[in-house]
Structure 1
Amino acid sequence: MSSTKRRIAVLLSGSGTNLQALIDSLNTPALPNAEINLVLSNRKAAYGLTRAAQAYPPIPTAYLALQPYLKNNPGKTREDYDAEVAKQVLRAKPDIVVLAGWMHILSESFLELLDGRRSVEGELDLSTTKPIPVINLHPALPGQFDGASAIERAYEAFKKGEIKYSGVMVHRVVKDVDRGEPLIVREVPFIDDEPIDGYEKRLHNVEHEIIVQATKKVLDEAEPLQS
Structure 2
Amino acid sequence: MSLRVGILISGGGSNMVKLVQSMTGSHPARPCVVLSNRPDAGGLDVARSMGIPTEAVDHRPFGGDRIAFEDELTRRLSYYSPDILCLAGFMRVLSERFVQQWDGRMLNIHPSLLPKYKGLDTHARALASGDSTAGCSVHLVTPALDDGPILGQATVPIHPEDTAQSLAARVLVEEHRLYPQVLSEFVSRLAAGLPIAPADATNYAQAAQKGPTE
Q: What TM-score, normalized to structure 2?
A: 0.83
Which residue in 2 is equivalent to 1:21?
A: 18
Q: Aligned-residue CA RMSD in angstroms? A: 1.8
Which residue in 2 is equivalent to 1:128?
A: none
Identity of aligned residues (%): 30
Q: Does 1:91 find its partner at 2:79?
A: yes
Q: Does 1:34 find its partner at 2:25?
A: no
The structure with more radius of gyration: 1
1:203 to 171, 174, 180: 171
Q: CA deviation at 1:198?
A: 2.1
Counterparts of 1:1-227 in structure 2, within 5 Å, are: 4-28=1-25, 32-55=27-50, 58-70=51-63, 77-115=65-103, 133-157=105-129, 161=130, 163-223=131-191
Distance 2:42 2:18 in 1: 14
Is the contact made by 1:79 and 1:107 (CA closer than 8 Å) also made in structure 2? Answer: yes
3-state SS of 2:4 partner: strand
Paired residue type of 1:102: F
Q: CA deviation at 1:174?
A: 0.3
Runs of 4+, deviation exceeding 3 Å: none
Distance 2:171 2:138 in 1: 13
Paired residue type of 1:145: Y
Is the contact made by 2:28 and 2:184 (CA closer than 8 Å) also made in structure 1? Answer: no
What runs of 5+ residues in structure 2 fail to find an aligned partner?
A: 193-214
Paired residue type of 1:81: F
Distance 1:80 1:109 in 2: 12
Paired residue type of 2:49: Q
Distance 1:205 1:149 in 2: 18
3-state SS of 1:223 partner: helix
What runs of 5+ residues in structure 1 fail to find an aligned partner?
A: 71-75, 116-131
Q: Do the aligned partners of residues 53 and 220 (structure 1) sit closer, same or farther apart at CA in structure 2, a change above 3 Å counting?
A: same
3-state SS of 1:62 partner: strand
3-state SS of 2:33 partner: strand
Distance 1:65 1:146 in 2: 25
Q: CA deviation at 1:28?
A: 4.2
Is the contact made by 1:90 and 1:114 (CA closer than 8 Å) also made in structure 2? Answer: no
Distance 1:110 1:87 in 2: 12
Q: CA deviation at 1:112?
A: 2.9
C-alpha distance after superposition, 1:79-137 (max 9, x if no partner): 2212321332233211210000010110012123334xxxxxxxxxxxxxxxx600000
C-alpha distance after superposition, 1:39-98 (max 9, x if no partner): 00011221110111000xx1110111222234xxxxx82122123213322332112100
Number of matched pairs:
192
